[in-house]
Structure 1
């Protein structure tokens, strides 16, 4: 089968959608399919054309207002010039889905939306509102829509009347389950992700004042770091918060495994990949009951918080620290790629 994946970005650029597209693409290629990726992330740091782990990658130039949407009209023209069996576009919140829909022709067209109904900032929210009519048209053009969570499926039905098949993100379970815990002088809590206000790291920092027995490690980079550092000083916990910046993939499993509790306090997500990674490493989680993170609260190894004030978060941390993880099976990327291939063939 000839498969064309269309995405905003692709590795070595990092992120949840980038990981999702790479994992399924490489596994489909390993099964003998001819897989090509069109991505809207051309730049000086990556070649315009390359083959990565059996996947042909072609990158297109464009621009990304507010760091989002990835406007690269050349993708639509390029899609029209190829004749794959399936075109699979990723991430409703970025215009390559629209460009893929415009160029799809008679090919089977599949969209994995990674939809969370909001964006990180006023500019992105305004752009998302303007985009909704054409974004909705692109979803209506799809032969199949895939959501990565039950919450996302419900949101797609409510916002667009779209019926989606749920196929969650996968995980290299063994990579995290076999990790040696990182050792530190004091027990620590952990947050992982981009440093933006909506990710909610500030709530973990403020809760630390009620958790004197713990330090907090924050893995990730972003423009919100100076504000987070100021919040740590104001809360009187700056000496117990360590900003690690970018953390290499090789270190992450051990960081998860060494933490007493992992905190995911984002105001919106379409899945919650870092929660899955922490659980696979044997670390229970505190998750905010917002967006798709609410789906994780059905598990015994996660404690949900509807409120993110310091008292609620600190109490949830102490409750989660007494729990074991993982308490239920986590999906692997092999499982996910098989289910995606079944959608292609249906």
Structure 2
């Protein structure tokens, strides 16, 4: 099967979860024998070598919210590749892959990793309320309506209006070739004998819930469990809030972002 994967705002290679995910999905599909073509942003170095075909489709000025302005480039690539399926990584300001799928007659798959629905404190909800006509909600509903299939690890983050038969709920896999107990490398924290260390790795966003790990550690330590520690790896808009919550706790470490090849040892 020939697959075009539209993720124009994701830097490849990169340390972000999205960067790692797009690379892993593309390479995994190629390993299964599919002809995979990916539209992404150039990241920290050259695109990966191998069976996957990579194309520069970075948003104008590198601004994620301008992603939809790359619709013409995505459509041009779709007409060249003539894919059977176009997978688009969901973003509220996206939709370019779905538009291209309609134009070339390909199946449209929307990959949803972040809530389409409004969560508590959602900036999208604030914008919709301010503008009254709710443009954000209307556009994300359009994306759902024009998808032949929505693939997500959690169907609860998809609007209830989407028919259940058009949702494929599936867990994202683990890269067991890289992540295994004997993985070696530099570890940016120290573990004493008898300690239990819980690691959070990912983007610090409200729906990822990193702050709840801090609160759990605080409760355990207050009950006398001094052997419980936590390590937070990554960056994001909620990082400072999580840091403030952890103020005064012992055994809580923030490493910042780390290269993906350092993560297996962690």
User: TM-score, normalized by length of structure 2?
Assistant: 0.73
- State the shift of 1:242 in Å: 1.3
**Match for residue 132 of structure 1?**
137
Pair 1:35-2:36 in alignment: yes
**Match for residue 131 of structure 2?**
none
- State the shift of 1:170 in Å: 1.4
Moved over 6 A (4+): none
Q: Equivalents in 2 of 1:155, 1:216: separation in Å?
A: 27
Q: Equivalents in 2 of 1:135, 1:64: separation in Å?
A: 23
**Match for residue 108 of structure 2?**
109
Number of aligned residue pairs: 243
> Please, which of 52, 55, 72 is the counterpart of residue 55 of structure 1?
52
User: TM-score, normalized by length of structure 1?
Assistant: 0.58
**Match for residue 161 of structure 2?**
159
Gapped regions of structure 1 (runs ≥ 5):
256-346
> Mapping of 1:139-154 within 5 angstroms?
139-142=144-147, 144-149=148-153, 151-152=154-155
Q: Equivalents in 2 of 1:120, 1:173: separation in Å?
A: 35
Tell me, yes or no, if the aligned pair for 1:61 and 1:72 is still in contact at 8 Å: no
The SS at the match of 2:260 is coil
- State the shift of 1:221 in Å: 2.0
Pair 1:205-2:210 in alignment: no
The SS at the match of 2:235 is coil
> Please, which of 219, 223, 247 is the counterpart of residue 233 of structure 2?
219
The SS at the match of 1:88 is strand
Deviations 1:89-141 (A, max 9, x none): 33333434x11222222223222233522369643444585233233333333
Deviations 1:226-282 (A, max 9, x none): 43333323xx31x32111112333443343xxxxxxxxxxxxxxxxxxxxxxxxxxx
Q: CA RMSD in A?
A: 3.4
Tell me, yes or no, if the aligned pair for 1:89 and 1:111 is still in contact at 8 Å: yes
